[in-house]
Chain A
Amino acid sequence: MKLKRVLTMTGLAFGLVAGTAFAAGHDGPPPAVKARLGLMANFAYNLGVLGEMAKGNTDYNADVAAVAAANLAAFSATDQSLLWTAGTDTGSISGTRALPKIWEAKADFNSKSADLAKASMTFAAAAGTDLAGLQGAIGGVGAACGACHKAYREPQ
């Protein structure tokens, strides 16, 4: 009788500890969302290198611009189909601003993603030539970012 109680208590305690550990392991958004945010951060970082040159905040450097623009083109050409998993919209979890509309209009969402890849390719071809080329093509990338954020990202 006593043993049973001890076992039950131990079981309960173990369950509690394990549960806490499990919860701790799952802090923050799910891995797919983290990967999405990481991809966006890579867009922003490489775009930032180029944008600072476009603004004249840093000196234009053709080699650096070419690398950043090639990175942006490569990141934006990533097949994102594994990142937008079901149940990871803003209505289901915290830590994301991805609207449920993404999953309702997947074809349009994918075409906007393809538009970014296209704009980034154009940008990559121009950014390494000269500053004017860089300045002329960055707007197309910005517009592609905005087109998707306009439709599919929850306003803050």
Chain B
Amino acid sequence: MFRRIIAAIALLGAGAGWWVTAPTYLPRADEITLMAAAPDAALGEQVFWAAGCASCHVPPDTAETDTPILSGGQAFASDFGTFYAPNITPSPEGIGGWTLMQFANAVQAGISPEGAHYYPAFPYTAYAKARHEDIAALFAFIQTLPADATPSRSHDVGFPFNIRRSLGGWKLLFGEPDGPELQPLSPSTERGAYLAEALGHCTECHTARNALGGLNTSLWMAGAPNPSGKGRTPNITPAALDWSQVDLMAYFTTGLTPDYDSAGGKMASVVQNLARLPEADRMALVDYLKALPPIANQQPASEQVR
């Protein structure tokens, strides 16, 4: 009898676990607004660069041209394994034949057309906050880019992280990270927040994570260890980033720091993307950074680097 109760509880637990880890698709209402949005490829091009799609999805050591080939293959090492960016060109190996709703579920809910959870190396927790018209426009723009038949490479992820179903639990716990209140809150800082938090996914590198890889939202943009190697991504809250607005604008346009060094590594890609945005959007990002709550460095000053 006792054994039976235990078995029943275990079964219930497993059932509950199965239920909570199931993919949660975008709601039906989203489909209606998505379908109603104009497939505006010109807007989509702006969304594309603001969201930094090319930075990860072009092949390794390939320049991000105006019409990049998004055939994937770049490796992203982490504590959980190595992830490889997939092919997202409009080919059968990529997103060829996908519906807008499948695309939106992939980008905003982290669910593949086959119903599997994507790993959050793909920043869908940020993209979840993107507007429907931007997603529909992005889908239209990506269709205009060259198709390529390179197959996507499987991720190199060990047990237990290779059980994709468990990502359902991860999404429940960490799926909707909220940014801090801005001071001041103006149309420009709000636009900046949208660009930084929904599209640009700056927190992915600039905010520290807990042991399970969830963002520590109380340390928003206060810097984090580099997940793929040595060094730290810098604190970009006003407590540490004392560059003037003019300096930040110049950095976002030319990649040159106030010392006339240049951005390197992943940030060089980010700057190239930002340089393609309208000036008002770069200014909005500057205003956003200045409006973030200042958070002191989490490391001794000697270890902080730009």
Contacts and interface: CB of A to CB of B under 8 A. Distances in A.
Interface of A: 43-45, 47-48, 51, 54-57, 105, 108, 138-139, 141-143, 145-147, 149-151, 153-156
Nearest to B234: A156
Nearest to B262: A145
Contacts of A147: 63, 268
B250 A150 contact: no
Interface in B229-274: 229-232, 246-247, 250, 253-256, 259-266, 268-269, 271-272
A95 to B, nearest CB: 15
B275 interface: yes
Interface of B: 61, 63, 226, 229-232, 246-247, 250, 253-256, 259-266, 268-269, 271-272, 275, 305-306
Query: Does more than half of chain A's interface fall in helix, strand or loop, or is it mixed?
Result: helix
Given A155-B231, A156-B231, A156-B306, A143 B264 contact: no
A105 B272 contact: no
Given A54-B250, A143-B255, A145-B255, A156 B263 contact: no
Given A55-B247, A143-B272, A155-B264, 17 more contacts: A51-B256, A54-B250, A57-B246, A139-B253, A142-B256, A142-B262, A145-B256, A145-B262, A146-B268, A146-B271, A146-B272, A149-B263, A149-B265, A150-B269, A153-B264, A153-B265, A155-B265
Given A105-B61, A155-B231, A149 B262 contact: yes
B302 to A, nearest CB: 13
Contacts of B305: 156
A48 B268 contact: no
A47 B260 contact: yes
B250 A51 contact: yes
Contacts of B272: 143, 146
Contacts of A47: 256, 260
A28 to B, nearest CB: 20
For the complex of A and B, the 8 pairs showing the least CB-CB separation, nearest first, are: A142-B254, A149-B264, A150-B268, A145-B262, A155-B265, A146-B268, A156-B305, A146-B255
B61 A151 contact: yes
A85 B232 CA distance: 29
Contact of B260 (A45, A143, A151, A156): A45
A155 B233 CA distance: 9
Contacts of A48: 259-260
A153 B275 CA distance: 21
A44 B262 CA distance: 9
A25 to B, nearest CB: 28
A96 to B, nearest CB: 13
A86 to B, nearest CB: 22
Nearest to B306: A156
Contacts of A57: 246
Given A55-B247, A146-B268, A146-B271, A44 B259 contact: yes
Contacts of A143: 254-255, 272, 275
A77 to B, nearest CB: 18
Contacts of B256: 47, 51, 138, 142, 145
B246 A146 contact: no
Give the residue among B261, B271, B306 with the most A Cβ atoms within 10 A. B261
B64 to A, nearest CB: 10
Nearest to A149: B264
Give the residue among B229, B256, B261 with the most A Cβ atoms within 10 A. B256
A150 B246 contact: no
Nearest to B228: A155
A3 B52 CA distance: 76
Contacts of A43: 260
